[in-house]
C-alpha cells in the first residue's frame, strides 16, 4: 500500500510542469530577398521618365532596408520584433511607391504618347517590366500583411487567416501545421494579375479583398493598354 502511494506521489509531484512549446516553422530569407533584388533590377532597367527619382535612389533604399532585415533576422524569418516589422513594412512601402509611380507614368505615356510607346518591342519590354514589378510588390504586400507577417506565422497561425489557401480550406489535406511561404504569395500575385480574380486563394478580410481588387485593376489597365498600343504600332 505504501509503495502504491509513493508511485502515485511520484507521478503527481510536478503538476505545474510547463507545456511543450509549439515548434517554430520559419521559412528561409532568400526567396523574399531574391524578390527584392529582382524588383531593384527591374527598376534599373526602366527608362528615366518611368522611374521615381534618380536611377540609383530606389534600388539603394531597397538594398539598405533589405540589409537591415537580414542583419536583424538572418537565414530564417523567425524573430518577432516591432523594429524589424517596421523595416519590413517600410521596404514594401518603398517598392509600392516605385511601382505605383511607374504604372501611372506608363499609363500616361500610353494615353498621350511617349518615346517608349513608338516601338512595339520597347513597349512590350517596358510594359512587361512594370507589370512584373507590380506582381512582386503585391506578392510581398500579401507576404507581410497576412496573419501578422512571416515571423508571426512561424510561431502561430490564426484560426481564420486573411488569405485562405487550399491547405486551409480542404480538411482532407490535414494541413494543421502548414504555413504559407513566399512562393505561395508570389503565385497568388501572379495568378491575380493574370486571371484578374481569385483563383485558388480566397480573401477573407476587407483589406485582402481590397488589395486583390486593386491589383486586378492595375494589371488589367497595364496589360490592356500595352497590348492595345503594341497592336496599333504593329498595324
- pLDDT of the residue at 176: 67
Task: State the cell numbers at 113.
Answer: 504618347
According to DSSP, residue 163 is labeled E
- pLDDT of the residue at 131: 94
- pLDDT of the residue at 144: 93
Instruction: Supply the pTM of this predicted model.
Output: 0.84
Q: d(Cα 95, Cα 131) in Å, to the nearest integer?
A: 13
pLDDT along the chain (235 residues), means of 10: 47 48 75 94 89 89 94 87 92 94 89 74 87 95 92 82 85 75 95 87 93 93 84 71
189: left (phi over 0), alpha (psi -120 to 50) or beta: alpha
Q: d(Cα 98, Cα 59) in Å, to the nearest integer?
A: 10
According to DSSP, residue 12 is labeled T
Torsion of CA 201, 202, 203, 209, to 10 degrees: 90
How many helices, marked H, and strands, marked E, lie in the chain? 9, 4
Domain residue ranges of the chain, discontinuous segments joined by +: 27-234
Q: Nearest 5 degrees, angle CA 124-CA 189-CA 228? A: 30
Amino acid at each position: 500500500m505504501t509503495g502504491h502511494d509513493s508511485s502515485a506521489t511520484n507521478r503527481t509531484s510536478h503538476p505545474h510542469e510547463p507545456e511543450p512549446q509549439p515548434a517554430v516553422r520559419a521559412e528561409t530569407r532568400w526567396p523574399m530577398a531574391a524578390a527584392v533584388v529582382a524588383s531593384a533590377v527591374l527598376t534599373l532597367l526602366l527608362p528615366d521618365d518611368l522611374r521615381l527619382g534618380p536611377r540609383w535612389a530606389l534600388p539603394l533604399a531597397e538594398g539598405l532596408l533589405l540589409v537591415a532585415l537580414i542583419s536583424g533576422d538572418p537565414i530564417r524569418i523567425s524573430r518577432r520584433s516591432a523594429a524589424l516589422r517596421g523595416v519590413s513594412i517600410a521596404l514594401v512601402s518603398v517598392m509600392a511607391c516605385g511601382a505605383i509611380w511607374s504604372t501611372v507614368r506608363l499609363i500616361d505615356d500610353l494615353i498621350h504618347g511617349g518615346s517608349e510607346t513608338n516601338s512595339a518591342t520597347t513597349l512590350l519590354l517596358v510594359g512587361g517590366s512594370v507589370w512584373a514589378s507590380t506582381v512582386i510588390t503585391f506578392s510581398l504586400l500579401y507576404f507581410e500583411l497576412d496573419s501578422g507577417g512571416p515571423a508571426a506565422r512561424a510561431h502561430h497561425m490564426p484560426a481564420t487567416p486573411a488569405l485562405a489557401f487550399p491547405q486551409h480550406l480542404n480538411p482532407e489535406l490535414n494541413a494543421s501545421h502548414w504555413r504559407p511561404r513566399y512562393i505561395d504569395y508570389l503565385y497568388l500575385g501572379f495568378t491575380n494579375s493574370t486571371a484578374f480574380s481569385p483563383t485558388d486563394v480566397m480573401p477573407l478580410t476587407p483589406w485582402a479583398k481590397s488589395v486583390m481588387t486593386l491589383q486586378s485593376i492595375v494589371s488589367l489597365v497595364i496589360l490592356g493598354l500595352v497590348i492595345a498600343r503594341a497592336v496599333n504600332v504593329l498595324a
